[in-house]
């Protein structure tokens, strides 16, 4: 997986609108709007959509096969960092 794609996905995640409450937060486990300082992240569906688009771009470019750390490419969905 090219490092620029990993950095892009992580950067994009920082501009999400879904609040992810941390364990110690009083709003943990609720879906109410809150003024806590917990981070906002991209929703799962958005991340899934972006990874699907990347997969189709890789496939169209002939790079839709198995991962290859030696050649530096692979499927973003199987990358643990993202």
In the structure, what pLDDT confidence band is assigned to residue 76 with cuts at 50, 70 and 90?
A: low
Strands (E), 1-82: 18-19, 40-41
Q: ∠ at Cα 18 (36, 47), nearest 5°?
A: 150
In the structure, what pLDDT confidence band is assigned to residue 60 with cuts at 50, 70 and 90?
A: confident
Provide, rounded to the nearest whole percent, the portion of the chain with pLDDT above 70: 76
What is the model's pTM? Answer: 0.58
pLDDT surpassing 70 at residue 71:
no
Residue with tokens 């960092």: 81
Q: What is the mean pLDDT of the chain?
A: 79
Among residues 16, 5, 1, the alpha carbon closest in space to that of 78 is found at 1
């Amino acid at each position: 997986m090219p490092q620029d794609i990993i950095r892009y996905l992580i950067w994009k995640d920082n501009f999400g609108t879904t609040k992810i409450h941390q364990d110690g937060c009083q709003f943990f486990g609720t879906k109410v709007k809150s003024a806590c300082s917990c981070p906002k992240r991209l929703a799962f569906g958005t991340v899934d959509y972006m990874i699907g688009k990347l997969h189709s771009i890789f496939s169209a470019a002939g790079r839709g096969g198995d991962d290859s750390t030696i050649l530096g490419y692979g499927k973003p969905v199987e990358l643990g960092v993202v």
